[in-house]
């Protein structure tokens, strides 16, 4: 029966085997949701069908694959044995609110020695942490874009740690200061995002690396899917996170010989910082309208800009207020015996990355547009152009009809 197979068939089977195996390996290593796993299962079924010609009992192969998948699922669902938190020191940035503040509370309750940076030591967030956390918490006023403040935070941390190294650095501080098309976004927004999300994080990481190398510790950075995928109207934020993601991947390779492990946490949409502050986005919207050149505003239309602001406002109001998935991912990254390269925190992130990695670009792009920015208005200039074309077509049709009548 094997003689019936020609060389092209052998090549087909080999390529299909490599593809299906690669897909399944990537899925199992990426903490994806069950939906993409079904796609991989269908691919495996096609492979089994091709192997039927070699007298391999397809049913037995499917059963074997099912048993393997079940064992893997059981293994992953079992609670992992985490490393002890006692005696470990962690430095975390951006703790006035959001992920940072929630993570500090969790780490402090677990027995970590936590060094947390805030922008305002007298602010509500800092006061809440001082009131609710133990004496093991050290609050430091740090703007991560200020090199002098970052260096002073390093000196303060070293003075308290003594000869003990730093187990974990959690790069959490970040900003998203823009909304709108790239052409409408201010250059100051691009620079502001890069200054905090990339350069600030890089500065903190470089300063604290000696302490991390001493303890063979870990670097955990909070990034965003917008750094890997082209979310509409988030170019400034996404570009800064893309730079951060590449930095993380590079550090992972460079620090491996030192025993320092590096990972990134990719959250879905959550209510943090200013995302749910309606007054903040209204002020940003007014600043944008005032700063745009009149000719550019005329081409896009104020109603187009207003719709974008309303869509952001609506998207923010629907964001998840429960930050625990992100906090859980950070804790696992700090204490798991084997650190994963990335952690998906929140529903739908795994599926999003699967579509981005394996589906055609047109499908992935449409998925992002439907998921994030469901715009109904086109820019004003395009609407006028469309109306002019429709009017011209109607006139041409009328002229043609008149010519036919005359004939």
Q: What secondary structure letter does DSSP report for 300?
A: H
- pLDDT confidence bin for 240, thresholds 50/70/90: very high
Distance CA 283, CA 141 (A): 26
Distance CA 153, CA 141 (A): 8
User: Of the ranges 103-117, 134-148, 245-259, 294-308, which one carries the lowest mean pLDDT score?
Assistant: 294-308
Total length of the chain: 407
Name the strands in the sheet holding 168-171, side by side, starting at the edge strand that comes first in the sequence: 137-141, 113-118, 89-92, 168-171, 218-222, 261-267, 342-345
Q: Using N-to-C axis directions, what is the helix angle for 147-161 and 201-215, rounded to 10°?
A: 20
Where do the DSSP E strands lie in 173-331? 218-222, 261-267
Distance CA 40, CA 191 (A): 42
Task: Please tell me the predicted confidence (pLDDT) of residue 2.
Answer: 45
Maximum CA pair distance of the chain? 100
| Helix boundaries (H) for 141-262 | 147-161, 187-193, 201-215, 235-255
How many alpha carbons fall within 13 Å on the CB side of residue 69?
Answer: 15
- The tokens for 378 are 């086109």
Q: Any idea of the CA torsion for 183, 225, 188, 318, to the nearest 10 degrees? A: 90
- The tokens for 167 are 């187990």
The dihedral through the CA atoms of 345, 241, 262, 33 has a sign that is positive
Active-site residue identified among 5, 12, 237, 280: 237
The torsion region of residue 148 among left (phi > 0), alpha (psi -120 to 50) and beta comes to alpha
Beta strand 89-92 pairing with 137-141: unpaired
User: Of the ranges 162-176, 206-220, 240-254, which one carries the lowest mean pLDDT score?
Assistant: 162-176
Mean pLDDT of the chain, nearest integer: 82
Q: Residue 398: pLDDT above 70?
A: no
Distance CA 272, CA 76 (A): 29
Where do the DSSP E strands lie in 327-400? 342-345
Task: Please tell me the predicted confidence (pLDDT) of residue 235.
Answer: 92
- How many C-beta atoms surround the C-beta of residue 65 within 10 A? 16
Hey, what domains does the chain have and what are their CATH numbers?
Answer: 2-77 (no CATH), 89-371 (3.40.50.720)
Q: Residue 29: pLDDT above 60?
A: no
* 287 or 169, higher pLDDT: 169
Distance CA 310, CA 316 (A): 10
Q: What percent of the chain has pLDDT over 90?
A: 49
Task: Please tell me the predicted confidence (pLDDT) of residue 272.
Answer: 79
pTM reported for the whole predicted model: 0.77
Q: Residue 31: pLDDT above 50?
A: no
- pLDDT confidence bin for 5, thresholds 50/70/90: very low
Q: Report the candidate in 326, 341, 167 with the shortest Cα–Cα distance to residue 249.
A: 341
What are the pLDDT digits (tens) for 273-286?
A: 766 677 777 888 88
- The tokens for 106 are 């969790």
Residue 237 annotated as catalytic: yes
Task: Please tell me the predicted confidence (pLDDT) of residue 182.
Answer: 92
- pLDDT confidence bin for 316, thresholds 50/70/90: confident
Which residues make beta-bridge pairs with 139? 116
Q: What percent of the chain has pLDDT over 70?
A: 73
For the segment 104-114, the average pLDDT, to the nearest whole number, is 96
């Amino acid at each position: 029966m094997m003689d019936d197979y020609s060389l092209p068939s052998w090549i087909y089977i080999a390529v299909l085997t490599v593809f299906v195996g690669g897909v399944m390996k990537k899925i199992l290593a990426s903490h994806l949701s069950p939906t993409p796993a079904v796609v991989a299962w269908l691919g495996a079924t096609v492979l089994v069908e091709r192997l039927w010609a070699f007298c391999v009992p397809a049913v037995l192969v499917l059963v074997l694959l099912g048993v393997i998948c079940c064992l893997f699922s059981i293994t992953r669902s079992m609670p992992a044995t985490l490393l002890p938190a006692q005696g470990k020191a962690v430095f975390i940035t951006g703790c006035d609110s959001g992920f940072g503040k929630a993570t500090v509370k969790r780490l402090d309750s677990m027995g970590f020695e936590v060094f947390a940076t805030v922008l305002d030591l007298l602010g509500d967030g800092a006061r809440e942490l001082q009131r609710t956390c133990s004496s093991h918490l050290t609050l430091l006023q740090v703007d991560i874009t200020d090199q002098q403040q970052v260096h002073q935070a390093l000196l303060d941390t070293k003075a308290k740690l003594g000869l003990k190294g730093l187990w974990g650095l959690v790069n959490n501080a970040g900003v998203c200061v823009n909304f709108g098309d790239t052409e409408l976004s201010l250059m100051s927004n691009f620079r502001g995002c890069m200054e905090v999300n990339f350069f600030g994080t890089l500065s903190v990481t470089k300063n604290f690396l000696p302490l991390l190398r001493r303890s063979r510790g870990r670097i955990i950075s909070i990034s965003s899917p917008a750094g890997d995928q082209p979310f509409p109207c988030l170019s400034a934020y996404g570009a800064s996170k893309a730079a951060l993601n590449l930095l993380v991947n590079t550090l992972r390779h460079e620090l491996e010989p030192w025993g320092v492990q590096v990972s990134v946490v990719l959250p879905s949409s959550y209510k943090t910082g200013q995302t749910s502050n309606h007054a903040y986005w209204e002020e940003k919207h007014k600043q944008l309208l005032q700063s745009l050149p009149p000719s550019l505003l005329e081409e896009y239309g104020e109603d187009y800009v207003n719709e974008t602001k309303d869509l952001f406002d609506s998207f923010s109001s629907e964001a998840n207020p429960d930050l625990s998935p992100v906090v859980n991912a950070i804790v696992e990254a700090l204490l798991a015996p084997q650190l994963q390269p990335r952690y998906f925190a929140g529903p739908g992130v795994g599926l999003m990355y699967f579509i981005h990695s394996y589906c055609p670009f047109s499908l992935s792009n449409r998925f992002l547009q439907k998921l994030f920015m469901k715009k109904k208005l086109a820019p004003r200039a395009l609407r006028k152009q469309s109306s002019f074309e429709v009017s011209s077509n109607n006139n041409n049709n009328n002229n043609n009809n008149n010519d036919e009548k005359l004939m």
